[in-house]
Amino acid sequence: MITWNNLDTLASYKKLFEVEKVNLAEAMSGENGAERVRKYSVPMAEGLAYNFAAKQVDDKVLDGLKELAEEAQLTEKFEALYNGEVINTGEKRLVLHHLTRGQLGNTVEADGVDKRAFYVEQQRKIAEFAQKVHKGEITNGAGEKFTTVVQIGIGGSDLGPRAMYLALENWAKKNNAFKMEARFISNVDPDDAAAVLYGIDVAHSIFILVSKSGTTLETLTNESFVKDALSREGLDPSKHMIAVTSETSPLAKSDDYLAAFFMDDYIGGRYSSTSAVGGAVLSLAFGPEVFSQFLEGAAAEDKTALNEDVLENPAMLDALIGVYERNVLKYPSTAVLPYSQALSRFPAHLQQLDMESNGKSVNRFGQPVDYVTGPLIFGEPGTNGQHSFYQLLHQGTDIVPLQFIGFRHNQMDTDVVIQESTSQQKLCANVAAQIMAFACGKADENLNKNFEGGRPSSIIIGDQVNPRSLGALLAHFENKVMFQGFLWNLNSFDQEGVQLGKVLAKRVLAHETDGALKVYSDLLNI
């Protein structure tokens, strides 16, 4: 029987405070450090590996984390989730994003249908539509092929799909899989939509409107912006637009769209990259075969999250170490640092995934918790970040745990040798050097040049960013966030924190304001 208890009621959690803290600088020095790097590594799917040698853990801490995983029933809670129990307590909903890429357990029925079959059917319809667009069987009003796809959405309808598109764009060009350029409109700031529209051939562009409810203010505003631009060009907007929405939304059966593809209430926006939300734009941009490979990578990584042995379950281990850092070591934030330009927007996606999921101060039953929960997430690709905020990471007053991501090979297979090494070797040299610099530091009598070290990091290492490895990487972080939510006893699948601002904004636009809100409205000329 599963019990949902707050973290601070668990005996194994309290015992972690009694375990001797690891001196990271000492542990990572010399042959001890070399042995840790060889030992503290867990295989992931698609050739990836999670290496946690430079984290502040040792065998004693790991034993404590294993006990915590067992007492918190992490394996059992994941099983309940993928078998269709109501895990989203705030909205009384199932949580089914894993079903978009595979069947982990029992058949899950909701709304009178087999949900796995439902998601597969939507993928099939999207694939058929994309193939017809690529073959020129679906065209614009003049009978000409579409060359650009533009996604209109905000939050999870933008951040995840945009990050995935950018991650695979160069790979697709190199591997003859690039079908259409993709652009994204998300911000209600008119400059966002205008910049995209001025940069594309509108007559040869197809637009994807993504809104589950069909009522999202920012998205519908941007849709009107796009329709106006199409009309000014003498084009019929209904010949240039498709919808990704729920079956019950006003968009579902509207004549304003060439086609509609469906999502449902069981997949939150930030978990929707493997649903129709990501499927439509990625299938149009790269072809449905590439999207299928992406799903296969995610499904393979999901299977590793089933493992009851913490040391063979990379997402669970990553989650446990993160909670240890947040709650026992008291570190307030985490930096995500991909050493791959392809992952330039991946930290932004993980920022929403993590902070919207676990940025909660009440447990899954709506009761206040007496411990800290989700960390602040930020990041930029290396080596750019090294010339930006790494100063604070190395010598600032707060210790910030680091999550590096690195690949042995670039995507384009083009490089140059300068000073006896390639650009890719220089990139990889930097990430290796940073791990050790953060861990071990450097003593100097001049305190301005002194590095204390003891700054923990992990690294996910792979061969190359490709559809399968990207899917596995995405699933790893989704599952990590899920396991951390279980540990903190949170509902990681609602997002009430985004609602209040929306309500107040509608009041401002309706001129139903008083007090400070009215003054701010006047200052902004609303």
Catalytic residue numbers read 356, 387, 502
Residue 255 burial (CB < 10 Å; 0-12/13-18/19+)?
exposed
- As given in the structure block, the two tokens for residue 17 are 């405070």
The interaxial angle of helices 499-509 and 515-523, nearest 10 deg, is 70
Tell me: cis bond preceding 383? Omega within 30 of 0 counts.
yes
C-alpha pair distances (Å), 428 with each of 27, 115, 252, 385, 462 = 22, 42, 48, 14, 12
Residue 67 burial (CB < 10 Å; 0-12/13-18/19+)?
middle
Backbone angles phi, psi at 409, to 5 degrees: -130, 150
- Angle (CA) 282-283-286 rounded to 5° is 75
Length of the chain in terms of residues written: 526
Q: Using CA atoms, how far apart are residues 186 and 88, in angstroms rounded to an integer?
A: 26
Identity of the amino acid at 83: N
- As given in the structure block, the two tokens for residue 455 are 């700054």
Alpha-carbon Rg for the chain, nearest whole angstrom, is: 24
Residue 253 burial (CB < 10 Å; 0-12/13-18/19+)?
exposed
- Please list, in sequence order, all residues whose beta carbon lies within 8 angstroms of the beta carbon of residue 400, skipping any fewer than 6 positions away: 331, 332, 333, 334, 335, 392, 393, 455
**DSSP helix/strand/coil, 13:** helix
The H or E element that residue 379 is part of is none
> Taken in order 296, 302, 308, 309, is the CA torsion positive or negative?
positive
Select from 212, 474, 512 the least CA-distant residue to 345. Answer: 474
C-alpha pair distances (Å), 385 with each of 126, 234, 392, 467 = 38, 45, 11, 25
Which is it for strands 109-110 and 113-114: parallel, antiparallel or unpaired?
A: antiparallel
- As given in the structure block, the two tokens for residue 43 are 């295989």
Cβ neighbour number for residue 310 with a 10 Å cutoff: 22
Identity of the amino acid at 330: K
- Angle (CA) 304-162-200 rounded to 5° is 155
